[in-house]
Amino acid sequence: MVKKLSRRTIIIATIIGAIALVYALYLGVNYYTATQARVVTVVYVNTTPLDEWMFDELLSREEVQADARELVRVVEETHPLFIGEPHPQYLAEKERFMQVASTSLTREEFWLQCAYYLASLKDAHTNIGRGRRLNLELPVRWHGEKLFATTGEILPEGSQIISIADIPVEDLLPILDRLMGFENESGLVYNRNTFATRQFIHVAAGATKTPSARVVFNYQGVISAIDVDYSPPGSNQISPVERPKSFTFQSLDYGKIALITASSCNMDDDWRRTCEELKAAVRRGVRKVIMDVRDNAGGDDRVWAPLLSAMNMEAGHGSYGELLCYTPTVVSKIVEYKGRSGVSYKEPRNSLTNKNNIELVVLVNEVTYSTTVSFLGRVHDAGHATLVGTQPRHNASYPSFPLYYRLEHSQFVVAISHVMYIRPNPLLDADNPGFEIIPVVEGQDELEVALSMLKG
């Protein structure tokens, strides 16, 4: 027989339930704030890239002029750079761009001029889509102004590359540096190592567009040549099932040190598992943590707050500020911006706490990018982390959250940042727009340096 509850019991239970619901909502709002998640509805733009053969098609003078004017308009009504006075380099490049875009051009030629123009903004998130971007699957790395093969898959490891597609490598550098936007020295290094083997760079330097390129190289004093086929980037790399997990957890030094490896910012099962394992380790008394974000190109910013919370760092009190302008163009792209106008400024907060006195060391390199840099800003600017490695290719304060536009005649898709993210301690930008980082010498591993620091 089921016992009937009294009216008083029902009322008390209802009140307790209501309090619990309100508290849960409170936590939810704070989680939203802590993660700085920008949950918005972006107006759809078809970003499907053009086929490579379409780049040989000729655009009329009127089509080129119309798309050039439209590109300048959306850039200046979207990018946060134009809340203030644009720098002289941009103004000079804009004038040059409009002069060049006054005649009939092929899509290839017009794309190149658009890319030069956008690169003058020095913003890695603002660019013009190219599509498949055919590439020589040839791992390389620049040392000074010399280019070397880094593996022995196609060329002998350590071979100095002399020319690609009949273009001397020293002639590729000025084209590459001008064509690809970068924010700092690390961005310049990243661009050189990533794009030196792309076909569009070779064509921009004067090469003929062909299915393969002749690579001339010097190995141990012997000059040789080999023909290498162009292919879509990554087509010969490891399959998706073999790619590293987004997050992993390891115990080092007999359980005294926790190592978190974050290869990408995805809120998946690997991330959830890592959050729980880190939280459990801290409860067991672990107070030394290494966070490896080398080669992490960003993604979902919401991954970081739960990881900070697992270490009892109050993520909501160390956050980036934001600066954007609600121009008609920006408002038309995001549903939640409807009816807004003027300039919006969100104050950064530099009061991240570290209740458990966690010794946090973060490993970084020039590939570290985007939302991962905002994580660095939170822990670095509050003084709760030591960074080891090289500067990321983003400055600590940086423009991001690109909006997408498709130009009417060329059909190029353009990504343009519309928010300037301001680091938790913006005063640090006056001396150095980057981070204070302990460098490593060539041949030294960042993880070994971090372990030595924490064990010592």
Number of domains in the chain: 2
Partner residues linked to 321 by β-bridges: 422
Q: pLDDT category, 35, cuts 50, 70, 90?
A: very low
Alpha helices per DSSP H over 86-198? 88-100, 107-119, 169-179, 185-195
- For position 52, what pLDDT does the model report? 76
Do 219 and 303 share a domain, yes or no?
Answer: no
For 53-90, how does the pLDDT look when each residue is reduced to its tens digit (9 = 90+)?
788 899 999 999 999 999 999 999 999 999 988 889 99
Residue 11 lies in a domain: no
Q: What's the half-sphere exposure (Cβ side, CA atoms, 13 Å) at 71?
A: 29
Residue 433 lies in a domain: yes
Question: Cβ distance 396 to 373 under 8 Å?
Answer: yes
The answer to the question of residue 142 being in a domain is yes
- What are the structure tokens assigned to 79, written together? 């990018």
pLDDT of residue 15: 62
Q: What's the confidence (pLDDT) of residue 77?
A: 96
Would 352 be classed as within a structural domain? Answer: yes
Are 383 and 422 part of one and the same domain? yes
With a pLDDT cut of 70, the percent of the chain lying above it is 88
In-domain check, residue 215? yes
pLDDT in tens, 222-276: 999 999 999 886 654 434 445 688 999 999 999 999 999 999 999 999 999 999 9
CA distance 35 to 371: 11
384 shares a domain with 413: yes
3-state secondary structure of 455: helix
| pLDDT-derived band at 16, boundaries 50, 70, 90 | low
187: domain CATH number is 2.30.42.10
Residues 298 and 389 in one domain: yes
What's the rounded Cα separation, in Å, for the pair 373 and 398?
Answer: 9
Q: Write down the H helix ranges in 205-324.
A: 269-283, 304-310
pLDDT at residue 151, rounded to an integer: 85
CA-wise closest residue to 300 among 249, 276, 264, 255: 264
End-to-end CA distance of the chain: 67
Q: What is the secondary structure of 316-346 as a DSSP string?
A: GGEE-EEEEE--HHHHTTBGGGTT--SEEEE
Q: Which of 406, 401, 423 is nearest to 325 (CA)?
A: 401
Enter the DSSP assignment of 233.
T
User: Of 231, 250, 266, which residue constitutes the final position of a domain?
Assistant: 231
* Bridge pairing between strands 160-164 and 135-136: unpaired
Rounded to the nearest angstrom, the gap between the alpha carbon of residue 363 and the centroid of all alpha carbons in its chain is: 16
- Model confidence at 19, pLDDT cuts 50, 70, 90, reads low
Domain presence at residue 122: no
Task: Give, as one character, the DSSP assignment of residue 410.
Answer: T
The three-point CA angle 182-184-189 to 5° equals 75
Could you tell me which residue, 4 or 188, shows the higher pLDDT?
188
pLDDT band at 443 (very low <50, low <70, confident <90, very high): confident
97 found inside a domain: no
Residue 318 — pLDDT band, cuts 50, 70, 90?
A: confident
446 and 328 in one domain? yes
Residue 62: inside a domain, yes or no? no
Q: What is the mean pLDDT of residues 386-404?
A: 94
CA-CA distances (angstroms) from residue 35 to 42, 267, 317, 337?
A: 19, 12, 10, 20
Distance CA 10, CA 254 (A): 52
Q: Report the candidate in 79, 108, 113 with the shortest Cα–Cα distance to residue 93.
A: 113
Based on the domain organization, do 404 and 256 belong to the same domain?
yes
- Expressed as residue numbers, the domain containing 282 is 242-455
Instruction: Give the separation between CA 404 and CA 45, rounded to whole angstroms.
Output: 7
The better pLDDT of the pair 426, 47 is held by: 426
Distance of alpha carbon 138 from alpha carbon 103, whole angstroms? 37
Residue 406 in this model has a pLDDT that exceeds 90: yes
> Taking 90 as the threshold, does the pLDDT of residue 337 lie above it?
yes
Residues 256 and 205 in one domain: no
Question: Are 440 and 292 within one domain?
Answer: yes
Which of 231, 257, 276 is the endpoint of a domain? 231
Token couple for 129: 């889509």
Residue 30's pLDDT is: 37
- pLDDT number for residue 10: 58
Same domain (yes/no): 329, 406: yes
Both 154 and 202 in one domain: the answer is: yes
Q: Identify the CATH number of the domain in which residue 349 sits.
A: 3.90.226.10
Which of 196, 231, 266 is at the close of a domain? 231
**pLDDT single digits (tens) 194-225:** 999 999 999 999 999 899 999 999 999 999 99
* Inter-CA distances, 44 with 128, 283, 333, Å: 17, 45, 8
The mean per-residue pLDDT over the stretch 115-120 comes to 96
Q: State the greatest distance between any 2 C-alpha atoms of the chain, in Å, as a whole number.
A: 95
Same domain for 389 and 438, yes or no, is: yes
Mean pLDDT over 327-352 rounds to 94
Mean pLDDT across 98-117: 96
Kindly state whether residues 194 and 320 are assigned to the same domain: no
